[in-house]
Amino acid sequence: MSGAAIPVALRVPRESRGGAIAYFARRNPRMIIGGALVLMWIFLALFAPFVAPYDPRQVNVSDSLLAPNWTHLLGTDDLGRDVLSRVIWGSRISLSVGVISVSVGFVFGVSLGLAAGYLGGAFDLLAMRVIDALLAFPALVLAIAITSALGPQIQNAMIAIGIVAIPAYARLTRGQVLAVRAREFIVAARTIGCSPLRIVVWHIFPNVINALVVQATLATAFAILAEAALSFLGLGPQPPDPSWGQDINYSQRYLPNLKWWMSVGPGIAIFSAVFAFNFLGDALRDALDPRLRRSA
Amino acid sequence: MIRYILRRLLLMIPVAFLVTIGVFVLVRLSPADPVLAFSGEERDPAVLAAMREEFGLNQPLPVQYVAWVSHLLQGDLGRSFQTKQRVLEAIVERLPATAELGAAALLISVTVALIVGIASAIKRNSFVDLAATSVTLAGISFPSFFLAIVLILLFAYVIPGHLFPPGGYTPATQDLGDNLRRLVLPAVTLATGSLAVNLRQVRSSLLDVFGHDYMRTARAKGLRERTVIARHALKNALIPVVTLIGIQIGAIIEGAFITETIFFWPGIGRLAVTAIPSGDYPVVQGVVLVSAFSFMITTLLVDLLYAWLDPRISYDTAAA
């Protein structure tokens, strides 16, 4: 080492916190908009009993089919139930299906991908053929088939959407594992006698987590959309529980009478929730994983 | 090329085998007893036992699977519990309606994606580009069944003249005009989801091509801008789009389940959806199997087309 002195800045003047946030927001408007919308839906789902103005199951025939007004901001349905309250309570079902099914897909898909990528050989070959077989079905068709076989219940919708989500995680994880497994730090870990499980969990997994976070956000958007589609087909939660897809299906019979508000509330809710997760996922992809960045 | 095709076909065999196992297991997972569903009002245990024997349901599962696959290979998908019609026959009857809807949706999606995608890539950051990118993001997030309801509300009820009917189907051989009028709303609904993805792909692959040296060379040698784009840029940019259109076939099959249900379009998607509540599993199973196999075959054809279109792809790499 040479003895030349290295100029060291002892203290770099820091920007104020407000300035830093403003800078971040200017650079990442999608993350701010997407994140704010996601937080809004999480808040509404968590505090639905306090935020919703009425009981979503409360039938009140004298108030049936009211157009949006100051007492019922999104109007009422044919049984006099408040559409806004049903939309707010419906977010609980949509978000919980989103979170649980994405977790199911995450746990199984990531474990399969880590094992296939690290172990290689016959296990990898077999695991990837199973993934290919899952990918051979159009995603929603597979979810419909699983839910219709297991029975139309919200738990089954979660399982179905979770299974459909597995291939994306497994493929992504396996690809990332193959990319890092030959790197020096993995060889070093193996040399000092780390067990395969320790290497996979402590050394490989942290390196693939960024890509997985992006995938999980985008998969939540798909899960919300898929749950709405399953509910629309009568394969999700059953009446009188509020559910966005089911409420839109129910509203169809009032279209000829131009009772548009029954469909618009849940429709906008699905759109905004899916849009929020897609927007946030896109922004996270750019921020966390430049390799995955698309040219668009 | 022949070696590549053979290898791809060989790779398809284990996947097809796993797909059949998946569908078989799915149906057996179902809590409903197929014999009770098939027998209707009949509850005599002796009759039910005889039926179980006749259908081979008292055999061990692997034996049942082999019997099912051997029927499958002969084109026998079983009979509907409800109508007692052969499932394959029911699917073949409804296939033309689904194919018509799918083809119309694909045509709309690809045409609009090409026109708007090219315009938005050429005039990058212009108003057209901004509008196209926003519509793309919105299109991906917009549930198709909600779009269908908005379209029905507007065009069948609100706008005077009731331009398009809210649903139903007339065979083209019977009345072509009415057939097309009834096709517009479901086709637009089905096209929108895939339009967003196609548009994004056309735009981004064109932008990618614009950065290449041969584009600068083409301009430097004095070619007109129109020729540069049509002969040099599009030819290269459309290769990934071909793949994407293949993938969209899957989106169109799954979209058909919902769109056909809303618009009372008598295709295979509606056939399956109406079979679900009554527990008519052979029909659901048949449609799911046909969807999966058509999706697999389309993906294979697209991969072959891709390799054929782009001579730079070596078949060995493409197969890896």
For the stretch A84-115, pLDDT in tens is 999 999 999 999 999 999 999 999 999 999 99
Q: From chain B, pick out residues whose CB is under 8 angstroms from the CB of A245.
A: 143, 145
Residues B130-144, mean pLDDT to the nearest whole number: 82
CA Rg value for chain A: 24
C-alpha–C-alpha distance, residues A68 and B21, integer Å: 51
User: In B281-296, which positions are buried (b, 16+ CB within 10 angstroms) versus exposed (e)?
Assistant: bbbbbbbbbbbbbbbb
Q: Interhelix angle for A121-135 vs A154-180, to 10°? A: 140
Q: What are phi and psi of A82, to 5 degrees?
A: -75, 120
pLDDT-based confidence at residue A53 (cuts at 50, 70, 90): very high
Tell me the CA distances in angstroms from A153 to A107, A156, A223, A236, B110, one per residue in order.
22, 5, 15, 5, 37
Q: Do A233 and B257 touch (CB under 8 A)?
A: yes
Residues 6+ apart with CB under 8 A from B74: none
Shortest CA distance from A129: residue in chain B = B15
Report the 3 state secondary structure along B196-257. Answer: HHHHHHHHHHHHHHHCCHHHHHHHHCCCCHHHHHHHHHHHHHHHHHHHHHHHHHHHHHHHHH
- Residue B64: per-residue pLDDT: 86
In Å, how far is A247's CA from the nearest CA of chain B?
11
On the question of pLDDT at B67 being above 80, the answer is: yes
pLDDT at position B146: 93
Write down the ipTM of this complex. 0.84
Tell me: the pLDDT tens digits for B90-132? 999 999 999 999 999 999 998 898 888 888 888 877 888 888 8
Reported confidence tier of residue A293, pLDDT bands at 50, 70, 90: very low
By CA distance, what is A160's nearest residue in B? B26
Per-residue pLDDT, A98: 93
pTM of the model: 0.86
What is the Cα–Cα distance from B167 to A98, expressed in whole angstroms? 32
Is residue A3 scored above 60 in pLDDT? no
Nearest to A141 among B18, B29, B253 (CB): B253
What pLDDT is stored for residue A16 in this prediction?
Answer: 66
Binary contact (A232, B19; C-beta < 8 A): no
A195: helix, strand or coil:
coil
Chain A residue numbers with beta carbons less than 8 Å from the beta carbon of B19 are 133, 136-137
Give the least confident one: B87-96, B151-160, B287-296, B311-320: B311-320
Q: Does A274 touch chain B (CB under 8 A)?
A: yes
- Test B19 with A275 for CB contact under 8 angstroms: no
Partners of A234 on chain B (C-beta within 8 Å) are 276-277
Rounded-to-integer distance, Cα B33 and Cα A181, Å: 49
Mean pLDDT of B75-94: 89
- Is B146 close to A263, i.e. CB distance below 8 A? yes
Residues 6+ apart with CB under 8 A from A269: A87, A90, A91, A94, A244
Q: To 5 degrees, how large is the angle CA B159–CA B160–CA B161?
A: 115
Q: Label residue A295 by pLDDT band (50, 70, 90).
A: very low
Residue A91: strand, helix, or coil: helix
* A292 chain-B contacts, CB cut-off 8 A: none
Residues from chain A that touch B133, judged by Cβ atoms under 8 A, are 296
Does residue B45 register a pLDDT over 70? yes
| CA-based radius of gyration for chain B | 24
Average pLDDT in chain B: 84
* Interval B14-38 mean pLDDT: 82
